[in-house]
Structure 1
Amino acid sequence: MADEPSPNGPPAFDDVFSGGDVEQRVYGTLLQTREPTAASAIADRVDCDPKTARKYLEWFADLGIATRHEGRPTTYERNDAYFEWRRIDRLAADHSIDELRSRVSELAARIAKYEEVYDAASPADVDAVAAAESSDDRTIDDVYSDLADWETARTERERHERARQQLAGTEGEPVPG
């Protein structure tokens, strides 16, 4: 049965945060929140008092993890900008400038190859159906896979470049303008 966790494996996805304390359950629910949600709705999901959920949500908002939307009721959602900043900060902490520069170059080469193959500046500029129909060796699934990989490479190149610039700024290397 798919919903039963294996005895040695992780819990089922739906119950990932159910075993933790209230703070962890509120945090886990917040991570899954993609639209403004009232503290009472989050409290219902994590089985706690709304005041307790609100306390933790306020704290997460103060930390920048959550975005607070004033209104009646006040609502909260995951702050994607915070998690993007954390990802870039972690890249800068875990890699040298040379490693980051090398990865940026690798990703730039991969992106350039896709730009050449599809004769487009970005994946958004490609008509996937037309590209597959005009190709002898690419199926529509191949094209969609390429477009997804291309977009991922663009995102990762931006993150690695921002991490490189962040690290360069702390080590005194001039950052290109």
Structure 2
Amino acid sequence: MREPREELKATADEQPPDFDALTPPDELVRGERTRDDFLDAALQLSEAATVDEVADIADHGPDAAREYLEWFERMGIVEQIGRNPVTYRRNREYLVWRRAERIRNRYEPDEIAEMLATEAGRADEFETAFGVADPDHVRVHSYASETDQSIEDVWEQLAEWHTTRRRIELLERALSTDDSLSGHHRPVA
């Protein structure tokens, strides 16, 4: 190993650095994650939240929150709901678009069509079993009594039916060539 240049060598009277005065490494790394912190916070917004509330969730300041929320709104990730105070919530259509894009990138169209046919078959089975076209039209207590099932079992079946319907929506979106978000700007991935 080579000796350091003379100007880089410590002298006998030199004091060691005050490591406690240095910025902790986790704070340095965290600074690079600001966008991700705000994206994580924005994707949690199922209800309208103020800029200050988003700043608290992301653990950053309100000025940065405002800047990122305005950017996320332009991208279609969040929607501005209120004006005084300004509030935002996540754009569900963005999440559907993002999931559909992942499916589209992972599977061939014929594979997606096959998955869609399977889910549509499940939806038909639910419609036949419950005798209605929509899980929201099932009277849980009455159906449980008529079929000698527990209310919990009926709720579980209805939850599966709702999930099946969401999958159908997602798979149809993945097969669609229209990437628009119902009037919103197409998000930048």
Instruction: Report the TM-score when normalising by structure 2.
Output: 0.70
Residue 104 of structure 2 is aligned to residue 92 of structure 1: yes
- Rg: which structure is higher? 2
**1:133 matches 2:145:** yes
Where has structure 1 moved over 4 Å in runs of 4 or more? none
Name the count of aligned residue pairs.
149
Residue aligning to 2:186: none
1:157–1:50 CA distance, 2 compared to 1 (3 A): same
Structure 2, unpaired ranges of 5+: 1-29, 179-189
Counterpart position of 1:59: 71
Does the 8 A contact of 1:43 with 1:49 survive in 2?
yes
Q: Which residue in the other structure is 1:47 paired with?
A: 59
Find the aligned partners of 2:59 and 2:111 in 1 and give their Cα distance: 45
Aligned pairs for 1:5-44 (under 5 A) are: 21-44=33-56
Structure 1 distance, partners of 2:49, 2:32, is 21
Deviations 1:33-63 (A, max 9, x none): 1222221222233332211111111121121
- The residue identity in structure 2 corresponding to 1:47 is D
1:145 partner letter: E
- Unpaired runs of 5+ in structure 1? 1-17, 168-177
TM-fit CA distance, 1:20: 7.4
Amino acid at match of 1:34: S
- 8 Å CA contact 2:116–2:168 kept in 1: the answer is yes
8 Å CA contact 1:64–1:79 kept in 2: the answer is yes
Report the Cα distance in structure 2 between the residues aligned to 1:125 and 1:70, rounded to whole angstroms.
32
Distance 1:47 1:96, change over 3 A: closer
Percent identity between the two aligned chains: 33
In 2, Cα distance between equivalents of 1:105 and 1:57 = 38
CA RMSD, 1 decimal: 2.2
Structure ranking higher on relative contact order (CA contacts 8 Å, 6+ apart): 2
Give the secondary-structure state (helix, strand or coil) at the position aligned to 1:75: strand
